[in-house]
Amino acid sequence: MNKAVLPRLGAASGAVFAIVLFVAAGNGDESFSTPRAIAGVAAITLALPFVGYLSRLLREAEGANGWLATAALAGGTIGIGLKLVSVVPELTIHRAHVADGTQLHKAFQQMADGTTVLSLYPLAVFCAATAIVALRTRVLPRWLGAGAAVTAAALAVNGGFLEASFVPALLLFIVWTLVASIYLVRRGSRTTARVSGEATAAA
């Protein structure tokens, strides 16, 4: 049972990450909400199992001598870690009751925005490594590998604007993760059904 369920959980965690984070973001206003903050942190954390699951697929496809799967794992983990850290200044503003419009509030907000921008670079490494392995080995469909390549380029370009407070490339990354997660869950379900059918026929 674990052999069938655990891979699906790893694949599905990417979709949960994308959907819950989108819902937690709400309408985009900057007012703090404890339930939304908890949901957002939980959603970002759930991206880690997806990164680990996808990196394992890349490693199996790349072979023992490859290093791109390791680069994908490192980039994804560091990128998600930085995104988690970006929540700390906003939490500090809430816990310390820093008044909106003050210099201290602005400094904390700029720290949060800057950390989010920095997270784009390692996420670009994750997507680029995924794209290269996927396009070379076909471990993912060509369209999904091409999508990872486009996402990597967008993340790298967006990361060049260090003072930006709007990160559309991160939204593209979330969408790509959602699509990849759904594909991997469906592929895993088809594989399990085929194996079960073969086992039944053999019996």
Per-residue pLDDT reduced to its tens digit, 31-69: 677 888 889 999 999 999 999 999 999 999 998 889 999
Average pLDDT over residues 127-150: 97
Cα–Cα distance, 155 to 84 (Å, whole number): 17
**Domain contains 72:** yes
Q: Are 184 and 9 in contact (CB under 8 A)?
A: no
Q: Are 125 and 71 in contact (CB under 8 A)?
A: yes
Task: Using the predicted structure, report yes or no on whether residue 154 has a pLDDT greater than 60.
Answer: yes
**Domain contains 93:** yes
Q: Count structural domains, the chain.
A: 1
Q: Give the H/E segment covering residue 193.
A: helix 168-202
> Mutual orientation of helices 68-85 and 103-137 as an angle, nearest 10°?
160
Domain of residue 63, residue span: 2-193
* Sequence-ordered list of residues with C-beta below 8 angstroms from that of 3, at least 6 positions apart, any chain: none
Task: Using the predicted structure, report yes or no on whether residue 160 has a pLDDT greater than 70.
Answer: yes
Q: Which residue would you say has higher pLDDT here, 23 or 80?
A: 80
**Domain contains 202:** no
**Domain contains 147:** yes
What single letter denotes the amino acid at residue 97? Answer: H
**Domain contains 198:** no
Task: Using the predicted structure, report yes or no on whether residue 137 has a pLDDT greater than 90.
Answer: yes
pLDDT, the chain, mean: 87
Task: Using the predicted structure, report yes or no on whether residue 193 has a pLDDT greater than 50.
Answer: no
**Domain contains 6:** yes
Task: Using the predicted structure, report yes or no on whether residue 3 has a pLDDT greater than 90.
Answer: no
The model's confidence at residue 90, banded by pLDDT at 50, 70 and 90, is: confident
**Domain contains 199:** no
**Domain contains 75:** yes
